[in-house]
């Protein structure tokens, strides 16, 4: 069987990294231009740093909108990728239509609430009596067009998932270029001030949306129609699950910005700098900081598929080599940035205007203190994405949240109270230092697992030729003896049986590791749904599905588990069996088979059934154990022999019709 992913395990790592990382870096840098360009032109206009303070106040509020837009967009894109893998055109267009519709509904709610609570929100995020009029002017224009902003951002992720990352980049690039061209025209030539910056941003977003809509008329893997926009709660719940990590990441930015702005406004007002200079300067600093972070993130995002495939294939040397190259590139970029920020900060600061000596004094201090450990910040960010890439969402979340929420937020509050406005600046390098310690500990432990010598076991299996006839798929509750019953059914009917054999064949065909594939449903993980969407798991699921279809093409057989009933749903010879049993029977079975205690058996049933349900739901968008999904549901507590006999009789009766 041909597997197009194998080159990820064979091609030169440096070549792969360049191929995948450069487009990611460019896309992220283009996204950064919107905010940075506005700050540059506003800072050099008549309104100066007060305008930058106003946009810095509005920025985290718009991030709330982006959090919803990206969460729904990324969730929809992930679900679309799953649909593509299983050739599911029916649910693909419904997911996309639902994503767009929900995004629009949320954006309208956001607009209404934004206008009702405008002043309260702006004051909450650090506005003063001086900056409030500017912030209101800017926010009012941005707010009216929030639906455009949210839908455009959501569509962008879907376009990438549809197999057109180049088009996705072009839609963003056109908007960014329009913003760059229109900013000086509106701000300086038309003398619209901060309103001009808002209009330039909005027109850029409108152009991006128009291009996205044009693309949506000729998509590759789905076609929208009126039925696409009928709310399907089952599909949309999956979209939300898949996008929740993006939402958490974006909302952490909101929390950081909110707390930081509150402290800067409160303690800045008590200092010689006043409330507005610190908010303006830190806002600029964080947006410049975002450019550097986006380069680092672009590098590691490009490495994700390489890391994911090779981790699943247990090619640990290639995993280490890939991360090492990404780490070296990240350190080089961040070190260059650190040198600029520490020794030549005025070069960067003057790009955003030079309003006064006090402004320059605080700006130089901010860049030197706030970004002192930017190298650590970048390493923390790429390490978080490394763990996402290898199917460890909990470790990824620990790294990300420890630096941003657990350390930074309390430090901003504590240090501001003890040191004044400068305390907020020192919170960043200290949280970087604490965050890198957590990161290094997790990386050392991860490296130890990679250093373990893998026992290369010969697990080659062949797909057996069979006679034309029924393809029997068996889904089962944990402890119902479904595996053994499936094996007995195959023996009675004289046809091949596939359970462990399936994973062995999938492993040799795809290059992935057999144990990795076989344990997809066994991992006890509180973020199991997110685990199932990580890169190595996607490769494993794809490999399994290809093998299941190939096995079915060879003739009659019994296949246990792996959502085979859904994978083969279009096979005319398919017979779908679901085996269940009362909890007491299953507990006793597990205690007998695995020598577990009663409590251990109960716990294992809960975890295993939950994981199987998550896997089945993700693969099929159907409910595990729903009688409507099967041709026969049978209680195995009647006995293994009777259950086997009933299944065989059912198959014979069905075949005789």
Domain 471-656 fold is Rossmann fold (3.40.50)
- With a pLDDT cut of 70, the percent of the chain lying above it is 94
Map tokens 């100066």 to a residue. Answer: 48
Whether residue 228 contacts residue 211, with contact meaning beta carbons closer than 8 Å, is answered with: no
Q: Measured between alpha carbons, how far is 26 from 19 in angstroms, rounded to an integer?
A: 12
Give the residue extent of every domain in the chain.
Answer: 45-263, 271-454, 471-656
Closest CA to 608 of 507, 484, 525, 514: 525
Choose between 282 and 161: higher pLDDT.
Answer: 282
Residue 533 has pLDDT above 70, yes or no: no
pLDDT for position 3: 47
**Average pLDDT over the chain, rounded to whole?**
87
Compare 37 and 462 and report the one with higher pLDDT.
37
- With tokens 């007060």, the residue in question is 50
pLDDT in tens, 373-403: 999 999 999 998 888 878 787 888 888 889 8
Helix (H) or strand (E) holding 577: strand 574-580
DSSP line for 448-473: HHHHSPP--------PPP--S--EEE
pLDDT tens-place string over residues 431-471: 999 999 999 999 999 988 888 655 454 555 678 888 888 99
**At CA 545, angle to CA 543 and CA 547, rounded to 5?**
70
Highest mean pLDDT among 228-232, 417-421, 623-627: 417-421
Digit-coded pLDDT (tens) for 329-380: 999 999 999 999 999 999 999 998 877 889 999 999 999 999 999 999 999 9
- pLDDT for 275 beyond 80: yes
| CB contact at 8 A, 103 and 229 | no
More confident residue, 78 or 551: 551
Q: Are 417 and 377 in contact (CB under 8 A)?
A: no
Q: What is the mean pLDDT of residues 285-302?
A: 89
Lookup: tokens for 204:
């850029």
pLDDT score for 5: 57
Residue 2's pLDDT band, with cuts at 50, 70 and 90, is: very low
What percent of the chain has pLDDT above 90?
45
Distance CA 519, CA 504 (A): 12
Kind and range of the H or E run holding 184: helix 165-184
Among residues 215, 213, 236, the alpha carbon closest in space to that of 91 is found at: 236
Structure tokens at 483: 């595996």
The DSSP output letter for 228 is G
First vs last C-alpha separation in the chain:
35
Are the C-beta atoms of residues 29 and 298 closer than 8 Å to each other? yes
Question: Does position 142 have pLDDT exceeding 90, yes or no?
Answer: yes
- If you write DSSP's letter for every residue of 328-356 in order, what string do you get? HHHHHHHHHHHHHHHH-HHHHHGGG----
Amino acid 1: pLDDT: 37
Alpha-carbon dihedral angle through residues 120, 125, 129, 134, given to the nearest 10 degrees = -100
Q: How far is CA 529 from CA 7, 50, 392, 456, 523, in A?
A: 27, 45, 12, 30, 11
pLDDT band at 107 (very low <50, low <70, confident <90, very high): very high
Look at residue 6 in the predicted model and tell me its pLDDT: 64
């Amino acid at each position: 069987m041909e597997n197009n992913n194998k080159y990820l395990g064979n091609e030169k790592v440096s070549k792969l990294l360049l191929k995948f990382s450069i487009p990611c870096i460019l896309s992220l840098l283009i996204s950064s231009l919107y905010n940075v360009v506005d700050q540059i032109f506003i800072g050099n206009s008549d309104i100066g740093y007060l305008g930058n303070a106003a946009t810095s106040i509005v920025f985290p509020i718009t991030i709330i909108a982006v959090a919803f837009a990206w969460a729904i967009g990324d969730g929809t894109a992930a679900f679309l990728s799953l649909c593509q893998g299983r050739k599911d055109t029916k649910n693909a267009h419904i997911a996309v239509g639902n994503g767009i519709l929900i995004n629009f509904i949320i954006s309208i709610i956001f607009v209404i609430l934004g206008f009702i609570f405008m002043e309260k929100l702006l004051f909450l995020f650090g506005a003063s009596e001086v900056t409030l009029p500017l912030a209101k002017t800017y926010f009012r224009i941005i707010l009216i067009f929030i639906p455009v902003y949210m839908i455009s951002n959501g569509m962008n992720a879907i376009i990438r998932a549809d197999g057109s990352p180049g088009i996705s980049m072009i839609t963003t690039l056109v908007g960014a270029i329009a913003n760059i061209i229109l900013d000086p025209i509106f701000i300086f030539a038309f003398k619209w001030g901060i309103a001009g910056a808002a209009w330039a941003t909005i027109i850029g977003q409108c152009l991006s949306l128009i291009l996205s809509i044009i693309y949506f008329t000729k998509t590759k893997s789905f076609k929208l129609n009126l039925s696409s926009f009928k709310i399907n709660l089952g599909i949309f719940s999956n979209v939300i699950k898949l996008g929740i990590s993006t939402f958490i990441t974006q909302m952490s930015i909101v929390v950081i910005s909110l707390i930081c702005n509150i402290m800067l406004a409160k303690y800045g007002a008590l200092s010689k700098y006043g409330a507005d200079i610190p908010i303006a300067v830190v806002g600029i600093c964080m947006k410049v900081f975002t450019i550097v972070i986006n380069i680092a993130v672009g590098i590691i995002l490009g490495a994700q598929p390489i890391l994911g495939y090779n981790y699943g294939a247990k090619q640990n040397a290639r995993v280490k080599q890939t991360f090492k190259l990404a780490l070296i590139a990240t350190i080089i970029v961040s070190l260059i940035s650190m040198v600029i920020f520490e020794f030549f900060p005025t070069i960067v600061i003057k790009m955003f205007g030079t309003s006064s000596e006090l402004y320059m004094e605080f700006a130089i201090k901010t860049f030197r203190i706030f970004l002192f450990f930017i190298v650590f910040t970048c390493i923390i960010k790429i390490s978080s994405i490394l763990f996402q890439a290898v199917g460890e969402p909990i470790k990824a979340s620990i790294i990300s949240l420890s630096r941003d929420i657990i350390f930074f937020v309390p430090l901003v509050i504590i240090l501001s109270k003890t040191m004044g406005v400068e305390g907020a600046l020192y919170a960043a390098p200290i949280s970087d230092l604490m965050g890198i310690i957590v990161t290094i500990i997790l990386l050392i432990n991860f490296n130890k697992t990679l250093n373990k010598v893998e026992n290369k076991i010969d697990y080659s299996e062949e797909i057996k030729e069979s006679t034309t006839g029924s393809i029997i798929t068996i889904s089962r509750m944990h402890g119902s003896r479904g595996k053994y019953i499936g094996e007995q059914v195959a023996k009675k009917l004289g046809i091949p049986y596939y359970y462990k054999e399936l994973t062995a064949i999938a492993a040799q065909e795809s290059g992935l590791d057999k144990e990795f594939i076989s344990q997809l449903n066994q991992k006890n993980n509180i973020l199991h749904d997110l685990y199932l969407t990580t890169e190595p798991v996607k490769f494993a699921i794809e490999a399994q599905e290809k093998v299941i279809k190939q096995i079915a093409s060879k003739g009659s057989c019994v296949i246990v588990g792996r959502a085979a009933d859904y994978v083969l749903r279009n096979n005319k010879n398919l017979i779908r069996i679901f085996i269940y049993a009362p909890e007491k029977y299953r507990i006793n079975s597990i205690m007998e088979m695995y020598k577990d205690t009663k409590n251990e058996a109960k716990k294992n049933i809960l975890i295993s059934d939950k994981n199987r349900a998550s896997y089945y739901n993700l693969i099929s968008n159907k409910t595990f154990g729903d009688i409507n999904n099967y041709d026969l549901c049978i209680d195995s507590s009647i006995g293994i022999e009777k259950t086997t006999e009933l299944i065989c009789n059912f198959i014979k009766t069905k075949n005789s019709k």
